Structure 1
Amino acid sequence: MSRPILSRLLGLSMALLLTIAGAARAHEIRPTIADVEVGAEQVTLTLRITLETLLAGIDLDSVQNTNDAPEAALYDMFRAMAPERLEAALRADWARIGRGFLIEVEGQRLTPVIAAVDIPAAGDLELARDSILTVTADLPPGGAGVRLGLAPGYGTFVPRQVGGGDDAYEGFLAGGEMTPELPRAEVLTEGAGAVFLRYIGAGFEHIVPLGLDHILFVLGLYFFATQVGPLLWQVSAFTLAHTITLALAATGTVTVPASVVEPLIAATIVYVGVENTLGWGNVRGRTALVFGFGLLHGLGFASVLGDYGIASGRFVQALVGFNIGVEFGQLAVIAGAFALTGWFIARPWYRRAIAIPASLSIAAVGAYWVVERTLL
């Protein structure tokens, strides 16, 4: 591949990075969490949910941020509504929205009914608003259990059957997927292995495709390295460090506001990009620095585990699985970068034509995020 072509590709890459940077924070899409009570005659779902996305008709399986959706302006309109107006809009459109809540008994689709809605005040319009929606459905006679899910386009669904303690079933479902049958007379339970595997997937997903800031940080490490061994040590040091602070933050031992953590994470991206460009440091010094930055990134990961509301008895399995998934995600980013540019690392022009322009792009995006997360 010639250097002019490489330069054009890098220019397009920088434009893409700057584009996605502007959408990385404002209206993040989070999973819908449901506490599920299955009685003899009725099933009740108490959902923590972002109602505005459903009212706007956003396909939550295809975007990670509402700003990326064609319905972004409609979402913003609903996001600014007072609670009573938003509830009125929900009830008026429930015939359509309710079809996306899948409740089945032996293949028979049940009709969900709104039992209660609790919507906070509009508050900071740059943050997603979590509402509490309680939905019920009458069960047909008999003892058959209930299967639940959200329709395709409704995003990730985390149902939890209440009443069974730490071993109660907790799912992690994509749009269109259904739970196993949740019994009426008892609570479905699951083993520690199932929790562990589920959080490996959650950790991987938080890097690829959702973790744009963490992806750029790992790419910053990649464009500094000229050998695989030191790079893998740095990535492992990063994982070890964020495991420590993630555990401390997720258990409430350490609490740092996101308004402080997020700009600092962006600043770490700026630093590695600038250091790559200026040629500072050495492998040992970079590894120690990466460990320190990993402690900061772990505080950023903490909100993710909080989104899933892990039962206390499953915390260790979830934490270990999540961090393994993060490590796999980071290695996937490195593998992708190597597949695109690894052929040229030994070339004398690699640093000048690829590593430095890419590092400058990474630093520019990080600088944009520092400003956005601090001032906007």
Structure 2
Amino acid sequence: MARGTRSSSHLAALLALFTTFWLMCLAGLAAAHELRPAVGDFAIREDTVEWKLRLSAEALLADIDMEGIFDTDEDANAATYDSLRALPAEDIQQRFRAQWERIGKGFVARAAGADLPIELVDIQVPGPGDLSLARDSNIQLRVALPDGAPAVQLGWVAAYGPLVLRQEGPEETAYTGYLTGGELTPPIPRNGSARQSSLRAFAEFVYIGFEHIVPKGLDHILFVLGLFLLSLRLRPLLMQISAFTLAHTVTLALGILGYVNLPAQVVEPLIAASIVYVAVENILMRKLSPWRPALVFGFGLLHGLGFASVLGEIGLDPARFASGLIGFNIGVELGQLAVIAVAWLLLAQPFGHKPWYRRRVTIPASALIALVGAFWFVERVI
């Protein structure tokens, strides 16, 4: 009896943790995926560096510390950030120019071991639009290169978050990098470029793919958990994961190549709907239905288009298109496997053999997933 009581208490604690997690998701869904990597393009001229970036001006104005977070609600200055997002474009432009002396200290241009002054040339901010979505501003910078400096390094401080930097120039030699933790580019020759090694570039895209699932991909995490909850047997689970993987690999490649292009306003609500469907079917069905793998394949096509939009924002180095695509996809798969592994260790391994597992775990957890997916669907449609 005491042993049964302990098991029930353990299960209750796990379910309470599950419930808390999903409620936190509900509270934070409006801001999920807001913090994306900033993307910059630069060109080294005869005596200057011209540097253009697409970024969140509001996050920099609010002094959000973007290192290691993916939702602005996690920062103490979240309220300031939210208020700035509602301001007209002209106000953001004026504030950004007025605070450039502070903000600009976080940008780095270095040559011959010395930091170079960075001039803010222009800033373009769109109107506030849909306040449930982050808006991207475009800034243009100029760096004067000192005489005799053979190379220059670019980047910014860790608190400004991940940064994708791409050099304008011949595709086979131009630099492309994904910088995190305050990392700088390697020294870029004044009259040339500095390419990454193939292994380093491949590893970066594996990291980007994994990060898009864990911790940033709440929608994909929910979907994968929905697949996991229906059956704890390896074969049905592998059938679903294989169908999902094959499908999103196809549309990820087609989306990046430009053969398939659906707007996010269509793709994102459909991804949310796929989460709801899988969760509801978990409640209604006791085992894998004959049509489930085919439906999962269809849903995988949608998720692949979502993945393609991420890579589209970052941009793939044309000279390493195949390796970048494969690396990102491997990262996504590793992220999915990590989610399944954690769920198996917390739920399936200790409780999967219990007769009450479906009643106390599968159905309540699936109901919570369905609620989150439904909330997300309504939010994305409206």
TM-score range, shorter chain: over 0.9
TM-aligned CA distance change 1:166 to 1:21, over 3 Å: farther
Q: Which residue of 1 aligns with 2:189?
A: 183
Q: Which residue of 2 aligns with 1:362?
A: 369
Moved more, 252-261 or 336-345: 252-261
Q: Which residue of 1 aligns with 2:264?
A: 258
Per the normalisation by structure 1, the TM-score is: 0.93
How far apart, CA to CA, are the structure 1 residues paired with 2:361 and 2:82? 39
AA aligned opposite 1:363: A
AA aligned opposite 2:364: P
Query: Does 2:123 align with 1:124?
Result: no
How far apart, CA to CA, are the structure 2 residues paired with 1:371 and 1:14? 21
Answer whether contact 2:111 2:149 (CA < 8 A) is retained.
no
Q: Which residue of 2 aligns with 1:2?
A: 7
Structure 2 counterpart SS, 1:24: helix
Answer whether contact 2:67 2:181 (CA < 8 A) is retained.
yes
What is the aligned-residue identity percentage? 49
Query: Does 2:21 align with 1:16?
Result: yes
Within the candidate set 350, 353, 357, 2:360 is matched to 353
CA deviation vs aligned residue, 1:196-246 (integer Å, no higher than 9, x gap): 322111111100000001001101111112222331332122111011112
Q: Would you identify which runs of 4 or more consecutive aligned residues in structure 1 move more than 4 Å?
A: none
Answer whether contact 2:230 2:288 (CA < 8 A) is retained.
no
How far apart, CA to CA, are the structure 1 residues paired with 2:323 and 2:280? 37
Q: Which residue of 2 aligns with 1:247?
A: 253
Q: Which residue of 2 aligns with 1:135?
A: 141
Per the normalisation by structure 2, the TM-score is: 0.92
AA aligned opposite 2:36: R
Moved more, 290-299 or 32-41: 32-41
Structure 2 counterpart SS, 1:180: coil
How far apart, CA to CA, are the structure 2 residues paired with 1:194 and 1:48? 24
Q: Which residue of 2 aligns with 1:54?
A: 60
Q: CA deviation at 1:166?
A: 4.2
Q: CA deviation at 1:20?
A: 1.7
Answer whether contact 1:52 1:79 (CA < 8 A) is retained.
yes
Moved more, 85-94 or 31-40: 31-40
Structure 1 counterpart SS, 2:261: coil
RMSD: 2.0
How far apart, CA to CA, are the structure 1 residues paired with 2:56 and 2:284? 44
Q: CA deviation at 1:337?
A: 0.8
Within the candidate set 138, 142, 148, 2:154 is matched to 148
Q: Which residue of 2 aligns with 1:30?
A: 36
Q: CA deviation at 1:116?
A: 1.7
Structure 1 counterpart SS, 2:179: coil
How far apart, CA to CA, are the structure 2 residues paired with 1:153 and 1:100? 8
Answer whether contact 1:168 1:190 (CA < 8 A) is retained.
no
Q: Structure 1: where are the runs of 5+ without partners?
A: none
How far apart, CA to CA, are the structure 2 residues paired with 1:21 and 1:310? 33
Q: Structure 2 matches for 1:162-177, cutoff 5 A?
A: 162-177=168-183
Moved more, 319-328 or 68-77: 68-77
Q: CA deviation at 1:25?
A: 4.3
Query: Does 2:114 align with 1:114?
Result: no
How far apart, CA to CA, are the structure 2 residues paired with 1:287 and 1:369? 24
Q: How many residues align?
A: 375
Q: CA deviation at 1:281?
A: 5.0
Q: Which residue of 1 aligns with 2:107?
A: 101
Q: Which residue of 2 aligns with 1:344?
A: 351
Q: Structure 2: where are the runs of 5+ without partners?
A: 1-5
CA deviation vs aligned residue, 1:157-199 (integer Å, no higher than 9, x gap): 1111211324411110113111111110112224544433221
CA deviation vs aligned residue, 1:16-39 (integer Å, no higher than 9, x gap): 212223423446111111112223
Q: Which residue of 1 aligns with 2:3?
A: none
Answer whether contact 1:30 1:307 (CA < 8 A) is retained.
no
Structure 2 counterpart SS, 1:137: strand
AA aligned opposite 1:370: F
Answer whether contact 1:236 1:327 (CA < 8 A) is retained.
no
TM-aligned CA distance change 1:25 to 1:182, over 3 Å: farther
AA aligned opposite 2:285: G
AA aligned opposite 2:272: A
Answer whether contact 2:158 2:182 (CA < 8 A) is retained.
yes
AA aligned opposite 1:109: D
